Amino acid sequence: MEMATTPHSLLLQNPNTNFLRNSKTTFATIPMTSTRLTTTTPLNPAKPISVKCAATATHIQDRSPGLSESQDRVFNFAAGPAILPEHVLRKAQSELYIWRGSGMSVMEMSHRGKEFLSIIQKAESDLRTLLNIPDEYSVLFLQGGATTQFAAIPLNLCKPDDEVDYLVTGSWGDKAFKEAQKYSKPKVIWTGKSEKYTKIPAFEELEQSENAKYLHICANETIHGVEFKTYPKTKNGLLIADMSSNFCSKPVDVSKFGIIYAGAQKNVGPSGVTIAIIRKDLIGNAQPVTPVMLDYKIHDENKSLYNTPPCYGIYMCGLVFEDLLEQGGLVEIEKKNKRKADILYNAIDESKGFYRCPVEKSVRSLMNVPFTLEKAELEAEFVKEAAKEKMVQLKGHRSVGGMRASIYNAMPLAGVEKLVAFMKEFQAKHA
């Protein structure tokens, strides 16, 4: 069964000719939320039907391009999968059916064909330009999410008895540490747990293990909104960073890291693609038990094409990289991100305690902004009212509550301005 889920307006064409080909499909089989049928009898074949829906529609086979209206899009503050640049989505839409004269969709291409090879090579090359990745680093497009890297890293870098250090500034760092326990001897050298993950320690305070093979950090804790602004120097080993939620949000000196890894679904694409940037000399020493899909050597030797990669996701990442370059690269992107974050944090700080961000100011994330309401009983209403104004996914992570606005690269300034205006109005109403 084909499924299409979209919060956008779908103009469904004459059902007799080109959609709902399965004669058994009736509107009863299309569960819709906030559905508005804007014309007459749904089963009258003569009339076009305009449906606004967050619908799971079956067998919708043909639509003209460009039918979703930008005014129907919400501001999506989700932590990931997250908002993508509208113009990237439109570009993908325009080449979804036939990719650049190839006669087929990217989804239908052989991953070994020249068309897809050009797509993956361009994506890598643009990412290298964006992050200024030195030649002695490999760029891998992998699967399994950042979570799989929690295991792949110790498996590739350590023997089972090797010591490694983890600096735990939030739930993701903690998860990475726990996974590493299966394949190495990790030690938490600092944790912010007792302070509800609102801080990053002064680096001089860190007691790094003498023989640690690496120090693992989560560069931006998505749930808690805590972001490293500078990076610790390791005593002897490598610095490894999970950059899932701030990847490509600002320039990074890649040469300081052994490995940088990130799930794509926050800043650079859809879920299903995980990017790992790995210093080449670290590749090739995986523990013998390492599954083939977790062995960096296999993926490096095969240029991320050992098995079938997430082709469409990689294509989408490529479009996002192109877009970031067109915007002037990561220096410009960081400026935009700072501006958005400033506006939002200022609104919180100037609310006289009505809103509160628990994170220490110097390490507040530019990407994920958690905040609470002084009157916690109003939080559900805040989220509900915001959704009515087309600002969605503002509920905080279930483990911490409150609210969280994720304002990744693709969140336009207008989205943050609208949120701040709403916050002020909400405060005026409830103060």
Helix (H, G, I), strand (E, B) or coil at 338: helix
Complex with ligand PMP: residue 81 or 329, whichever CB lies closer: 81
One DSSP character per residue, 95-140 reads: TSSS-TTSSS-GGGS-TTSHHHHHHHHHHHHHHHHHHT--TTEEEE
Considering the complex, what minimum distance in angstroms separates the CB of residue 272 from ligand PMP?
Answer: 9
Complex with ligand PMP: residue 218 or 330, whichever CB lies closer: 218
Considering the complex, what minimum distance in angstroms separates the CB of residue 146 from ligand PMP?
Answer: 4
Considering the complex, what minimum distance in angstroms separates the CB of residue 242 from ligand PMP?
Answer: 5
Torsion-angle region of 396 (φ positive above 0: left; ψ -120 to 50: alpha; else: beta):
beta
Complex with ligand PMP: residue 68 or 222, whichever CB lies closer: 222
Complex with ligand PMP: residue 15 or 370, whichever CB lies closer: 370
CA-nearest of 360, 397, 315 to 99 is 315
Exposed / middle / buried, residue 326 (Cβ in 10 Å: 0-12, 13-18, 19+):
exposed
Complex with ligand PMP: residue 15 or 272, whichever CB lies closer: 272
Question: What amino acid is encoded at 185 in this protein?
Answer: K
Complex with ligand PMP: residue 57 or 146, whichever CB lies closer: 146
Active-site amino acid positions: 172, 242, 266
Q: By beta-carbon distance, which residue lies closest to ligand PMP?
A: 145
Considering the complex, what minimum distance in angstroms separates the CB of residue 34 from ligand PMP?
Answer: 27
Binding positions for ligand PMP, rule: CB under 6 A: 80, 145-147, 172, 218, 222, 242, 244-245, 263
- Residue 418: how many CB atoms within 10 A of its CB? 16
Helix (H, G, I), strand (E, B) or coil at 355: strand
- Residue 93: how many CB atoms within 10 A of its CB? 14
Rounded Cα gap, residues 276 and 17, in angstroms: 46
Pairing verdict, β 49-58 and 75-76: unpaired
Please report, to the nearest 10 degrees, the dihedral formed by the alpha carbons of residues 359, 360, 361, 363 taken in order: -90
Q: What's the first-to-final CA gap in the chain, in angstroms?
A: 50
Mark 24-53 as b/e (b = at least 16 C-beta within 10 Å): ebebeebeeeeeeeeeeebeeeeeebebbb
